Structure formats: structure tokens, C-alpha cells
Structure 1
Amino acid sequence: MVTGDASYIKKINRALIIREIIKEGKISRADLSKITALTRATISAQVADLLEEELVVETELEHNPVGRKPIMLSLNAQAGYALGIDLDAGHATFMLSDLTGHPVTTEIIPIQSEAYEDIVQLLVSAIGRYQSRCAGSRYGMVGIVLAIHGLVSNEETIKFVPRFQWQDVDLKQDLERAVGTAVHLENNANLSAFAERAYAHHTTDNLLCVTLYSGIGLGMIMDGKFFRGHEGFAGEIGHMIVVPGGEPCACGNLGCWEKYASETSVLRNILAAEPGDASDMEWISRRIADGDEQVLDALNQFVYYLSIGLNNVINMYNPDVVVIDSELLRMVPDALQRIHHQLHSQISHYREITLSGMGRKSCVMGACALAISRFLNVPVLSLPSGDDLAD
């Protein structure tokens, strides 16, 4: 039983009720009482507040063969909107979602200049447009979360972004000053992990998400919370050494994992001896279908080194679920079975290794989900998934 002062208990109960309403989609007051173990009086008082705040709406259940039709509660999805932004090399992805995490619109804006001031201006201009678009709703834009492909401190300052060569910049403060509202920064891999937990893996509080695109990142949800480390920089697992004395990495080490198992490195090796027009996943897919030995050998090495790193990560963190986010790995025949066969350690314990169903959208979806979580003050969300959320 939760104990504490009345306002604290009310806050906890409110979060619990909102969480179950979102999770179930539609639910009656009686069922809410059963699931949450809260009294009907508590449910009624809390729901009355939520209805007055227009966060919850009532509908009558259409099909009920016995007795009076129950009144169902659901979240008012259009009461406000969350903006997620993925700031990556060459482009920024913007996703606007409703309060259930359902995407309303997605936009990719090319980044023509990598100068800090130019990127800030691009972000400010786009955020302003989305703020205007949301102004007619009850709560407008409820939150803005920006994904950073680099080191973000616990205070949300940027320590280093290798792709832009940013060091020690306060993007959060600069954006907030320009747009007039709170902006939150988070590491991209953490947001991918948050998306996997919020949209897909509702029954675990210990989840790792390994992203394999330009580098290798590790997002960690442990005991239902981000695992950040001392200053917020935990998860730079791509710079774990898997080949001592191996290929030089931009970080200064030799033989880093991302030099052998990130998509960028693998594709660079495959395409090195190919014509200039051989540069996309569709070309790789055709080569796999044709049984190209060079491509298949490179993919075998990819799976081999990926498995080495996953073995290390699993033994370090003992996760329940490991999600791998990689467009290239989805193209490898029997990829997960091959990974399983190479995890031989008797001390490696996990329940599931799976491929992300969201792909590259996971980061920006996680940004929207985190904005919703902060607005509703519900730390652990279980948002509805749908086919339109996948790549």
C-alpha cells in the first residue's frame, strides 16, 4: 500500500488510473476499481477531475447483451499533442503525435548546413509551425523532446555530438529561449528503448535496445527507468573493444564494436569494391537474393561480431528483453536464429531477443512517448501499437 500525505497519494492514484485507461483503450469505472484495487469512491473522484480537465471522455458501450450499457472511459487523444524530433546527420525528423502516441504527421527536413546556429534556426522555425498547428487544442503542444545522437548529460546539456562536432553546447537553453516553452533533450538510443517499452513490450521493466545504424548505441530501461550512469553518458557500447588492436575508431580506440557491427561499417566494407551506384539497401537485398558470395560473407561477419557484442551486453546487464534495431539485420536470412546459436555462455540469461518492429522511427516515437509521459505524469506508459507505426 502506498503511504504518504494526501496530495502525494492522490498524485500516485491519478497516474495509476490514467495508465490503465491508456492501456485498455476503453474501460469502465468498475473495471478500473478492480484492476487498480482502488475504491469506487476514489475512482469516481479522480475520474470527475479528469473529465473536468478534458483529459478523459465518456462513451456508452454499444454492445452489451445483459443489463444496462456501461459508461466507458478513454483518454481524450486530441486534448493535446507531443512533438518528437530526431536530430541526425543530414536531416531532422519531426513527428507530431496525439496523447495516445498515435502519429498525426511525420516530416523529414534536410539539414543543409551543420553550423550550430543554422541548425538551431531550422529547429526553431519548425517548432514554431507545430506550435501554431496545435494551438486550437485544449492543451496545445504538451511537450517537445529532442533526440541527440551523442552524449547528453543528466542536466540535458550536450557534451559531444560527433557528427556535428558539437562540444559543450546548451541546445536546450537556446531552443527554450527562442520558442518560449520547455524542451527536453535525450540520447537517441534511450528514446528507442523507451519506445520499445511504451509501444511494444508492455510486460517488461528491464529492456535493452541496441541500435546499429551509423554507430552502435545502447538504450537501457532497468527497473522501469532509464539507466544513465554517473553523468548520463552510459550506453556508448559501440566503443566496447571486440578486436584488440583492430581497426582504428574515431573515438581513439582500436577494434571498437561499431567498426565491425554497425550498418555504416558493414555497408562501407561491402560497397568498397563495387561501382559508385551501388549504395542502398535495395541493392544489398538483390545481392542476397542472387547469392552473392562477397555480400553473404560480409553479412556472416556482421552477425558474428554482433553476437560477440550481444553476449557481452547480456552478461553485463542481465536484461529480460533485448531489441535489435537494424534495417540491415532484417534482411539477413534467419538472423535471430543465427545469433542465438552463437550465444553459448551458460551464464547468459535473457527471455527474448527480437528485432524492432518500428525501425528508424523508434527514436522519434520514443521522443513523443516521453513527452506524453512527462505531461501526464505517468512514468511507465503502455501505448497502443499499430501497423502504421512500423517502417
Structure 2
Amino acid sequence: MITGDASYIKKINRSLIIREILREEMISRADLSKITALTRATISAQVADLLEEELVVETQLEHNSVGRKPIMLSLNGHAGYALGIDLDFGQVSFTLSNLLGSPVSSEIIRIHTNNYAEILELLILNITKYQKEFSDSRYGIVGIVVAIHGLVSNDEFIQYVPRFHWKNVNLKSDLEKAVGVEIHLENNANLSSFAERVFIHHETDNLLCTTLYSGIGLGMMMNNKFFRGHDGFAGEIGHMIIVPGGKPCTCGNKGCWEKYASETSVFEYLSETKSISNITYEQIQQWMNEDDSDVYEIMEQFIYYLSIGLNNMINIYNPDVVVIDSELLRIYPDSLHKIHQNLHSQISHYRELTLSTIGKKSCVLGACALAISHFLDVPILNLPYKD
């Protein structure tokens, strides 16, 4: 039984009730009381507050049995919106979702600059646009989260973004001064792991999500919380050395994992082999359909080096679920089976290793979900994923 300050207990109970309403999607007051072990009086009082705040709505179910028709509770997804922003090299993705995490607006803006002031201006312009366009609900935009492909400290200060060459910039403060609302910054891989936990793997407490696109990032959910390390920089797994004295990396070391097992490395190998620049996934898919030996050789090498790093990750963290986010692996035949075949260690333990079904959208959807989590004050959410 939880004891302590009455307002704190009320806050904990409220969070518990909202989480169960989200988990079940529709639930009665009586079932809420059973699941949460809270008294019916507590449930009634809390639900009355949530109804008044328009965060919860009632629906009366139709049924043929004798007796009162049950009144079901569900979260009011239209009470507000969450804005997720994925600030990546070459493009910025904006997704606005309702409070159930369902996207209502998405946009990708190409950028051709690394200049901090220019990108800051673009972000301010678009955030302001969304604030004006979606102010008609009870709460408007309830939160804004920006995904950063680099080092973000525990106090949300950007230490380093490799591909932008940004060092020690306070994007959070600069944005907040301009748009007048709280902004949160988070590492992109962490947000991808959060999306996988929130939308797909609802019953998993310990999850690793490794993203393989422009580099390699690792998002870690341990006991349903981000594992950040001392300064917040944990998860830079792409700079684990797997080939001593190997290819030089922008981080200053040689032989980093992402130089051999990121999608960027595959595209670079193929560009060199084919003497073609700006290769697309569609071209790679076509070459696979044609049984191109160069493509298959490079993909097999990609999977070989990928498996080395995955083996290390699994042995270090002993996760429940490992999610790999890679478009190349999704289009390469039997890729997951090939990875499993390369994981030979008898001491590697995990329950499930799978490819992401969310894909590149996981980062921006994770940003939306984190904004919702902050607003509802529910640390971990269970939301339905609708592709």
C-alpha cells in the first residue's frame, strides 16, 4: 500500500488510472478498480476530475443482456496534440499526433545547410506554424520533443552532433525563448527505443533498439527507463571498435562499428563498386531481384559485421528484446535468419531479436510519445500502433 503525502498519492493514483485506460483502450470504472486495486470511491473521484478536464470521455456500450448498459472510459485523443521533430542530416521531419499517438499531420523538409542559425530559424518558423494551426483543442500542443542525432546531456544540452559539426549548443534554450513553450531534446536512438516499447512491445521492461541509418545508435530501455550513463551519453555503440586499426572514423578512432555495419557504409561500398552516386533503396532492391553478386556480397559482409556488434551488445546488457531498425535488412531476403546464424555464443541470452516494424518513423513517433508521456505524467505508455 502506498503511503505518504496525500497530494503525492493522488498524483500516483491518477497516473496509474490513465495508464490502465490507455492500456485497455476502453474500460469501466469497476474494472479499473479491480486492475488497480484502488477503491471505487477513489476511482470515481479521479475519473470525475479527468472528465472535467476533458482528458477522458464516456461511451455507453450497446448490448442485449438485461441490466444497466456499461459505461466505458477512454482517453480523449482529441484533447490536445504532441509535436515530434526529427532533426537529421539533410532533412527535418515533423509529425503531429493526437494524445493516443496517432499522427494527424506529417511533413519532411529538406535542408541543405549545417548552419546552426539557419536551422534554428527553420525550426522556430515551423513550430510557430503548428502552434497557430492546432490551437483549437482544449490543450493545443501539449508538448514538443526534438530528436538529436548526437550527444545530448542529461540537462538536454547538445554537446556534439557529428554530421552537423555542432559543438556545445543550447538548442533547447534558444527554441524556448523564441516559441514561449517548454521544449525537450532527446537522442534519436533513445526515442526509437521508446517508440518500440510504447507502440509495439507493450510487455517488455528491458529493450534495446539499434538504428543503422546514417550511423549506428543504441537506445536502451532498462526497467522501462532510459539508460543514459553518467552524463547522458550512453548508447554511442556505433563507436565501439570491432576492427582494430581499421577505417578512420570522424570520432577520432579507427575501426568503429558504424564504419562497417551502418547503412551509410553499405551505400558507400555500393557507390564505389558500381561507380554510381546517390544510390537509392529502390536500386538496391532491383539489383537484389536481378541476383547481383556484388550486392549480395556486400550485404553478407554488412550482416557479418552487424552480428559482431549485436553479439557484444547482447552479452553486455542481457536484454529481453533486441530491435534492429534498418530498411536494408527489411528488403534483404532472410536477413533475420542470417543474423541469428551468426550469433553463436552460448552465453548470449535474449528472448526476442526482431526487425522494427515501425522503421524510420520510430524516432519521430517516439518524440510524440515522449511529449504525451510528459503531459499525462505517465512514465510509460501503451499506445496502439496504426501504420
| Aligned position for 2:260 | 260
Distance 1:74 1:37 in 2: 19
* Superposed counterparts of 1:270-281, under 5 Å: 270-276=270-276, 279-281=279-281
Is 1:238 equivalent to 2:241 in the alignment?
no
Shift of 1:48: 0.4
Q: Is the 8 A contact 2:146 2:184 kept in 1?
A: yes
* Secondary structure of the structure 2 residue equivalent to 1:143: strand
Give the CA deviation at 1:38. Answer: 1.0
Match of 2:101 in 1: 101
SS at match of 1:328: helix
Q: Which residue type is aligned with residue 283 of structure 1?
A: Q
Aligned partner of 2:170 in structure 1 is 170
Matched to 2:341, the amino acid is: H
Distance 1:256 1:366 in 2: 27
Aligned equivalents of 1:51, 1:135: Cα separation in 2: 20
- Aligned equivalent of 1:292: 292
1:128 aligns with 2:128: yes
CA deviations 1:43-98 (Å, max 9, x no partner) are 10100010011100111012353422100101111101000000001110000000
Within 5 Å, give how 1:1-391 maps onto structure 2: 1-276=1-276, 279-386=279-386, 388=387
**What is the CA-CA distance between 1:134 and the residue it aligns to?**
1.8
Aligned CA distance change for structure 1 residues 278 and 136 (closer, same or farther; 3 Å): closer
Question: Which amino acid is 2:178 matched to?
Answer: A
Give 1:318's aligned amino acid: N
**Contact (CA 8 Å) 2:96, 2:368: kept in 1 or not?**
yes
1:275 is displaced (CA, Å) by 4.3
SS in 2 for 1:294: helix
* More displaced stretch, 282-291 vs 198-207: 282-291
Task: Measure the CA separation in 1 of the matches of 2:368 and 2:188.
Answer: 12
Q: Please list the CA deviations of residues 351-387 of structure 1 after superposition, one character each: whole Å capped at 9, or x if unmatched.
A: 000111111000000000000000000001001112x
| C-alpha spacing 1:14/1:278, structure 2 compared with 1 (3 Å) | closer
Report the CA distance between 1:171 and its aligned residue: 0.4
Asked if the contact 2:93–2:106 (Cα under 8 Å) also holds between the matched residues in 1, the reply is yes
**Between the two proteins, what is the percent identity of the paired residues?**
69
Query: Relative to structure 2, which stretch is displaced further, 116-125 or 105-114?
Result: 105-114
- Quick one: structure 1 residues 255 and 31, their matched pair in 2 at CA, closer, same or farther if it must change by over 3 Å? same
- Counterpart of 2:357, as a letter, is G
- Secondary structure at 1:255 match in 2: coil
Looking at structure 2, the residues matched to 372 and 88 of structure 1 have their Cα atoms a distance apart, in angstroms, of 22
Per-residue Cα deviation, 1:288-319 (whole angstroms, up to 9, x for no partner): 11111111011111111111000000011110
Deviation digits for residues 184-239 of structure 1 (CA, Å, limit 9, x no counterpart): 00000000000000000000110000000010000000011000000000000000
Paired letter, 2:196: E
For residue 160 of structure 1, give the secondary structure of its aligned residue in structure 2. Answer: strand
Q: Distance in 2 between matches of 1:240 and 1:64?
A: 62
Secondary structure, aligned partner of 1:203: coil
Q: Is contact 2:271-2:277 (8 Å) kept? A: no
Partners of 2:191 and 2:362 within 8 A in 1: yes
Letter in 2 for 1:215: G
Distance apart, 1:35 and its partner CA = 1.1
Residue 64 and residue 218 in structure 1: after superposition, are their counterparts in 2 closer, same or farther (change >3 A)?
farther
Q: Distance in 1 between matches of 2:339 and 2:60?
A: 49
C-alpha displacement of 1:273 = 2.4
Q: Which TM-score applies when normalising by structure 2? A: 0.98
State which drifts further: 114-123 or 275-284.
275-284
Counterpart of 1:299, as a letter, is: M
| Post-superposition offset of 1:278 | 6.5
SS of residue in 2 equivalent to 1:118: helix
Q: What letter matches 2:336 in structure 1?
A: L
The structure-2 alpha-carbon separation of the partners of 1:263 and 1:74, relative to structure 1 and needing over 3 Å to count, comes to same
Aligned length: 387
SS of 1:146's equivalent in the other structure is: strand
Task: Note the C-alpha offset of 1:277.
Answer: 6.1
The alpha-carbon deviation at position 2 of structure 1 amounts to 2.0
Stretch moving more, 109-118 or 259-268: 109-118
How far the C-alpha of 1:276 sits from its partner, in A, is 2.9
